[in-house]
Amino acid sequence: MPAAGRTTGAVRHRKRRRWHFDRPPTAARQGRAPDQGKEDFPTDRYVLQGLAEARGLTLRMLPSDLDEGLDLRTLRAALDEDVALVVLSTVSYRCGALLDMAEVNAAARQVGATVLWDLSHAVGAVPVELAATGADLAVGCTYKYLNGGPGAPAFLYVRQEVQSRLRQPIQGWFGQRDQFLMGPRYDPVPDLDRFQVGTPPILAMATLDPRRWTCSPRPASTGYARRAVASAS
């Protein structure tokens, strides 16, 4: 899995996948609608349904062919200024159809929408070029084609230019600036580490080849979890 560096983004392992926009794009505050492929993996659909209900958003489910996947003409026809977020699987879990990530990202950007890619059925099976295709957000798992096994960590990709605009709704100690000062108020770090919550699953992460993941540099005093992973590996 190609993992971009600090100039374009970074990959962070996580157990859960939750996020919302803190500053523009401001989908939640403006009531703008997310779009999703009707045949995307059920977990993605369930998460978005709950998010839409909780935030008063409209969730549009785009029809797709069970054998051919989502037709990009269908997607383009659904994109307008009301769409804030497009959630799609790079590879269809039903038929294996592969979407053109660069074309989808460009089409969404034209209307001011952001694309969130689910790479669960792509990473480890097909080349995934996040920076080269202009991806902003991606999530995925490691227990499928990366052979992490049951309970293996998930991962999150956020392009560096949007990291400071996104905020983890579950504000945890591991996302705090000056972590060991134990400050009275939450002040998230400006980079990808703001999406961390608590101690990562050390043993589960140790089952993965460390060459397949990268973390943005942090001060040595806050890097003991990564050192523990390296030692366990």
Domain ranges of the chain: 9-232
Does the domain made of 9-232 have the CATH classification 3.40.50.2300? no
Give the per-residue pLDDT at 209.
58
Give the per-residue pLDDT at 210.
57
Give the per-residue pLDDT at 151.
80
pLDDT by 10-residue block (mean), the chain, 233 residues? 35 36 36 58 88 88 87 93 92 91 96 94 94 95 84 89 88 90 91 88 72 47 38 35
DSSP per-residue string spanning 79-137: -STTEEEEEEESB-TTT--B--HHHHHHHHHHTT-EEEEE-TTTTTTS---TTTTT--E
